[in-house]
Structure 1
Amino acid sequence: MTETYVAYGATQHLFKECARHGDYEIPQALEKKGEIPADENGTHLGVGSGWWYDTLGLTPTFNVWAQISFIHMYMLQVRIRMFPATHAPIWTQHLTNHCFYAAEDRLVVWHKVTSSSLRQRYLKDLFSQWRGLLIAYDEGLVKGDAMLAAALWRNLLNAREDVDYQKLAEVVGYMRREIRRLDLASDDDVAKGSWTFGANPGTEAPSVLLQSMLMKEGENA
């Protein structure tokens, strides 16, 4: 009877750890008549810092924040699947719920989306991305680094052509390293809700398979 309350509190902290890596602000949203900056497609532009923005070169936007959060949520979910079968679904559902509560709050606070129906459309699209991402990252986890890199390229990097393949390889290495850390952790280590991810991507060399992919890409350039 009490597990759902324990899971709710712990996953709230776990999601905050997932979300902090891509956190951003839009200072103009806090001004009374502030005009939120946007690109040519109308996408709101924020201000953020950290490896994902400063080194990988991503733009602080709502969707990018979601994709960075999703990567970390995915790694946690892989570990939560190892919980006893009767417990894992509760934890997975609470972690997902916290993400969408936070996403809706972000739409209101930083993007001034006051229309409930419009927010629901954003969230519905975001949920579709999450479901598709789970399948794509699972496939990459099983079939190898090149497949995982392709999934990251489509989701995190929006299939852009000017991708830095070395940086992409660093994200793959980061995911492999952190999933391994979670694999070695006990259920209690995760269930306490105090789990933190390790060093930023780029601290480990890419796999041999991914190195060969990078070399081939360099030869074609």
Structure 2
Amino acid sequence: MLVRNASKYGASGLRYARSISTAQSWKFEARNNTILNKFKDIEEIEAPSKLAQESSLPVIEQDLKTKPRQPSKKLPFLSDNKIENDPNYQMSGWKQKIGQVLIKAFSIDMDKSRAGPVAASIYFGECKRQGLYYPNEPMSDTAKFFYETLKLPKSFSQQYQIALLHYWMLSVRMRALPHKYGKNYQQKLIDRLFSDMELRMSQELKINSNRIIEGYLKDYHTQLIGAVLSYDEGLMTDDITFAAALWRNVFNGNPNADMRHIEALLGYVRSQLYVLNKMTDREFGFGKFAFVAPDQVVQPLTKAQEAALKEKVKAEFAGHNLPSQRSVLSVDE
């Protein structure tokens, strides 16, 4: 696919995505009449944010009954760990050499080991940042889409629902990986999401009772199960079912929710799934995916573009010769 108006992807403003393994992916692109497939013959596809802004209906704020508790402090985005927080951090040369020797000597399964830093750090950060909000601080473009364009309430629970939606999209792709690896990636990601919520409730929201925090976590876990089941049903059926799932979960079942806003979010989700559907197992397993911003347009790839990108991916990973870069994940699917 092509992602347009994406300055962060280079001067051309275009980014390509790749192809996915279909062995366990439910063949969701083939079995579902997705928004992208519907629009294949239309030259201009609107970005989700633009689609949502076309609505002229009056905004009726949802009554949350209670005023959401706002954070009193801000924790580091990922953690205090310098390796995780500093993208430019490099281990000393001798430590790297020892690590490579140990990996080779003990035949460590790097695809299994890689799930920690990729799923519990890179993809956790991707899920968290999409709906992250702090009072009196500028919001990211994606957060503005959810809170300003879609008019969702600025609350901790809403941040969780947004993160949960993005977790589910990643989990769809993780389920397409070989089972023992995909399951590991899912578990690492969800464990990190919940441990982060527990920490934020304690330190940012100043909830001092462990019993109350545990109660919230149980509620969030119940919401997770319900949301995943409803999103899966929408993925395997039709857009009406999918839109209803988004309305119940992300829009909190708000009877005054704008239908154009729900349609825009559905387009946003379908676009992300298409990008994920065009990535190889190895690209995804190495943490190469990033969510497409809602002000960008995803367009289907031609067969020639897909073939060219597959060759580019193979060339990139052909140079990964260190023991720590070993992988059995496919560069074809």
TM-score normalised to structure 1 length: 0.79
The within-5 A match list for 1:47-196 is: 49-196=143-290
Cα distance between partner residues in 2 of 1:58 and 1:47 = 16
Q: 2:126 aligned with 1:17, yes or no?
A: yes
> How big is the shift at 1:191?
1.5
- Counterpart of 2:180 in 1: which secondary structure? coil
Q: CA deviation at 1:203?
A: 4.7
Residue correspondences, number: 187
- Determine helix, strand or coil for the equivalent of 2:153: coil
Deviation track 1:107-131 (CA, whole Å, cap 9, x = no partner) reads 1232111211211111111011001
Q: Is the CA contact (8 Å cut-off) linking 1:47 and 1:60 kept in structure 2?
A: no
Per the TM alignment, residue 179 of structure 1 is displaced from its structure 2 partner at its CA by: 0.5
SS at match of 1:167: helix
Letter in 2 for 1:177: S
User: Take 1:97 and 1:71, find their aligned partners in 2: how far apart are those partners?
Assistant: 16
Stretches of 4+ aligned residues off by more than 4 angstroms: 1-4, 46-49, 201-205
Structure 1 residues without counterparts, runs of 5 or longer: 28-45, 206-221
* Residues 233 and 241 in structure 2, CA contact (< 8 A), matched pair in contact too: yes
Q: Structure 1: which amino acid aligns with 2:259? A: Y
Alpha carbon RMSD of aligned pairs, Å?
Answer: 2.1
TM-score by length of 2: 0.53
The structure-2 alpha-carbon separation of the partners of 1:9 and 1:177, relative to structure 1 and needing over 3 Å to count, comes to same
**Comparing 165-174 with 196-205, which one deviates more in the overlay?**
196-205
Q: In the aligned structure 2, how far is the partner of 1:185 from the partner of 1:127?
A: 29
Check whether the contact 1:140–1:149 (CA below 8 A) recurs between aligned residues: yes
1:26 offset after TM fit, Å?
A: 4.7
The aligned amino acid for 2:289 is: W
Q: 1:7 aligns with which of 115, 123, 128?
A: 115
More relative contact order in 1 or in 2 (CA 8 Å, sep 6+)?
2
Give the C-alpha shift of residue 4 in structure 1.
Answer: 4.2
Task: Indicate the percent of aligned positions where both proteins have the same amino acid.
Answer: 30
